[in-house]
Amino acid sequence: MELNILLWANISMLILHEMDAIYRKEWMMLYPVNRLEQNTAHVLFTGMHFFLFMAIFIMMHNYFIYLFWGMNIFGILHLAIHLLFTKHRNNNMNNIFSLVIIFLMALISFISAACYYLV
């Protein structure tokens, strides 16, 4: 049950991050989406999340362990990517709220991986 709660917390943080990313126009850092007209880029970036979350919900039911490890690896790598893009001219995610979400995703990922081996 603890692993379920950690996975749900991690997915919840991912959803918060993606909501924040849409608000802050994170697609402006992503090639080739950043080459599109703003409204088109917004629709494409936002629309892609439908497929992301459908895959997550399907995996939650049928492939828990793959989703569990995928989210843990993603949470850690995601932090590394955001740290690499800290100085990007279109990075609007350099604020306390956005950074707390990103760091919490990584922290939950580390805790989840540790709990997997301790439980």
Return the SS3 of 90.
Answer: coil
> For position 118, what pLDDT does the model report?
87
The tokens 């955001």 sit on which residue? 82
pTM higher than the cut 0.85: yes
Q: Are 119 and 3 in contact (CB under 8 A)?
A: yes
* Region at 36 (left for phi over 0; alpha for psi -120 to 50; beta for the rest): beta
pLDDT along the chain (119 residues), means of 10: 92 97 93 93 95 94 94 97 93 95 98 91
DSSP-derived secondary structure for 37-48: -HHHHHHHHHHH
What Rg value do the Cα atoms of the chain yield, rounded?
15
